Amino acid sequence: MSDLMKQSPLGTYVEHLKKGELAYQVNKDTNKPFFYPRAIAPETGSANIEWRVSKGLGTVYTTTAVHYKGEAPLNVAMIDMDEGYRLMSRVEGIDAMDVKIGLRVKVKVIPGDEKTLPFPVFTPAGDAK
Amino acid sequence: MSLLKRGSIAVVGAAESDLGQVAPHTTPVDLMAQATMRALDDCGLTLKDVDGLFVAATQVRMGPMALAEYLGIKPKVFDGTQIGGSSFMSHVAHAQLAIQMGACEVAVIAYGSTQRSVSRAAASPREFNPYETPYRPILPISAYAMAAARHFHQYGTTREHLAEVAVAARKWALMNPKAWEKEPLTIEQALNARMVSYPFTVRDCCLVVDGGGAIVLTSAARAKTLKKKPVYVLGFGETLSHANISSMPDFTVTGAAISGPQAFKMAGVTQKDVKMLSLYDAFTITPILFLEDLGFVPKGEGGRFVANGGIAPGGKLAVNTSGGGLSYCHPGMYGLLVMIESIRQVRGECGERQVKGCDVSLSHGNGGVMSSQCTVIFGSENTL
C-alpha cells in the first residue's frame, strides 16, 4: 500500500511533470494502465502499481472549442495515449476548430508556478507513429 | 435492485413549486416546502402523514435535515443520495424499498433551486480537479459537447439533428402554460445562436431557472384510497459509470444501456408499450443518446430519428412533452420535474399536449456528466 503520509499520487505525477515527463500508472498484476493517478489500482484494489513515463504520443478521441467572451476559442480534448489510457488536455499550435478526432498529437508540459501546478498539453505530431 | 416489486407503490401527489424567477431572497428550501404542500394537497394527505423524506440539492448540503426542520416533521426514514440530476429517480427506488419493508408509509421526494437568482456558478460550484480544471472546460457543457462531437464522428449525427431536439422541445413547451419559453424557435435560429462549446450553441443547452418540485409516494393499497388516480412504479434501473468526464468509457454509450434493460425487465413491458418518454435533456445530445441506449432506436440512429420533427408534437414518438429542460424548466437538478411530466401523462392531466392512451410512460434521469443514469417506468391501473 502506498504510504500517503509520505507521498501522494498527485505529488508523484507533478514531480514527473516538473521534469518534463507525463507519467501514468500500471497495475502490475493485470498489466492494465490507468489514469488519473491513484493510491490503489481500480477494479482490483491492488497496491502492486508501477509508475511509467509515457512516450508522449496520442490521438484525439474527441474535442470541443470553448467560447469564452473576449477570447479566441479554446480547445479542450480527450487524448487517447498510445500506452492505452485517456486524459483530458488541449491541443495547442492550431486553431481550436482545426483540432479533429483522430489527429495525432505529442505532449508538451506547461510549467507551473507558485500558484498553479504544471500540466500537460499537446501539439500536432505530424506523422508520428 | 431485484428486491423491488412491480407496482408495489404508486405516486399519489405531484407538483412543481413556483418556477422561473422567484422573489429576491427566496431560498431553495422555501421552494421545496411550497412544492411539498402542493403535492400533499394534490392527493389529500397532510404533513402529519409524511414519515419518509428524500431530498437532494446543490445549494443545501444536508437536504433531509433542512427540509424536515423547515416543515417541522420528524421522518422515520430519510435519504439524501446525491448523484446529480437523477438523484430523485434513485430516491423513488429507495422510497419503494422503505415502503415495501414497512419502514415508512408516505414518502415525499423534494427539490428546490434558486440558480437563476443567485447564478449557476454560485448554485453549483464545481470541485477542483487537477486533471481537468487547468484546461478550463465549461462544465458540464463541454463534457456533453465532446460526447456530441464523438457521436457526429462515429454515426454522422449533425448540428441540424441537435437543433431538431431544441425545436421539438420548444414546440411542446408552447403547449405547456408553465413553460419558461413562450416564443417559437426555428432550426436556423438554433444553429445561429451564440456558440458556447462547439458543437453546442446556447440553444443546445438547458435553461437556467429557479424552481423545484415534490412527489408523494405510498403503498399501492393506500394509493387507491386517495384523491387522484395512482401512478404505479412498474420498473426501475440505475447505474453509475464514472464521475468525471475523463473517465467515461465510451462517450457515445451512456449507462442508460444498463438502467433501461433493468427497468424494462422489472416492469415486464417493452419499448412498444411506452407511449411517452421524459428523457433528461440537459443538452440536445442527451435525448438522442437515451433513445438509442434505452432501445427505442438502433445505436447511432438517434440523430436521424429526431430529424423532420421525429420527437416534436405529431412526430414518431412523444418525448419531453413538457418542453423539457431545454424549454420548460431546468432548475439545476431537473430529474424530479422529468418524472412529474411522465406522472401527469399517465394521469391524463396534460391538456393540449396529452398523449392519448398513455398507460405507460418512462422517465430517464441523468446526473453529473452522463455519470449516473436512472430509469423509472410508470403505469396506470390498467397495467397492473
Structural domain boundaries in chain B: 9-121+207-383
**Pairwise CB contact (< 8 Å): A101 & B132:** no
**Pairwise CB contact (< 8 Å): B197 & A65:** yes
Cell representation of residue B87: 438523484
Cell representation of residue B378: 410508470
Assess whether A29 and A62 both reside in one domain. Answer: no
Using CA atoms of A79, B284, B255, B346 in order, give the dihedral in degrees to the nearest 10. 180
The answer to whether the beta carbons of residues B167 and B326 sit under 8 Å apart is: no
The answer to whether the beta carbons of residues B366 and B280 sit under 8 Å apart is: yes
**Pairwise CB contact (< 8 Å): A66 & B138:** yes
Residue A1 has pLDDT above 70, yes or no: no
CATH code at position A115 = 2.40.50
How far apart CA B64 and CA A16 sit, in angstroms, is 44
Q: How many domains does chain A have?
A: 2
Residue A1 in any domain: the answer is: no
Residue A105 in any domain: the answer is: yes
* pLDDT given at position B230: 98
**Pairwise CB contact (< 8 Å): B131 & A64:** no
The answer to whether the predicted template modeling score (pTM) of the entire model surpasses 0.95 is yes
Using CA atoms of B70, B282, B190, B257 in order, give the dihedral in degrees to the nearest 10. -160
Per-residue pLDDT of B109-145, as tens digits, reads: 999 999 999 998 899 888 999 999 999 999 999 999 9
The CATH number of B9-121+207-383, from 3.40.47.10, 2.40.110.20, 3.40.430.10, 3.40.50.300, is: 3.40.47.10
Assess whether A112 and A65 both reside in one domain. Answer: yes
Residue A74 in any domain: the answer is: yes
Nearest to A67 among B132, B196, B245 (CB): B196
Chain A residues bordering chain B (beta-carbon distance below 8 Å): 10, 35-36, 61-68, 73-74, 76-78, 86-90, 96-97, 101-102, 110, 116-117, 119
Task: Measure B288 CA to nearest chain A CA, in Å.
Answer: 18
Size of interface A-B (CB pairs under 8 A): 79
Task: Return the closest-CA partner of residue B111 out of B277, B325, B332.
Answer: B332
Query: What residue in A sits closest to B194 (Cα-Cα)?
Result: A67
Question: Given its phi and psi angles, is residue A84 left (phi above 0), alpha (psi -120 to 50 degrees) or beta?
Answer: left
State the ipTM, two decimals.
0.97
**Chain B CB contacts of A116 below 8 Å:** 134
Instruction: State chain B's mean pLDDT as an integer.
Output: 97
State the average pLDDT over residues A54-77.
Answer: 98
Task: Tell me the percentage of chain A whose pLDDT exceeds 90.
Answer: 91
Nearest to B145 among A64, A68, A90 (CB): A64
Per-residue pLDDT of B162-188, as tens digits, reads: 999 999 999 999 999 999 999 999 999
User: SS3 of A108, please?
Assistant: strand
**Chain A CB contacts of B196 below 8 Å:** 66-67
How far apart CA B152 and CA B289 sit, in angstroms, is 12
Assess whether A44 and A73 both reside in one domain. Answer: no
Instruction: Convert B255-268 to b/e letters by CB count within 10 Å (16 or more is b).
Output: bbbbbbbbbbebbe
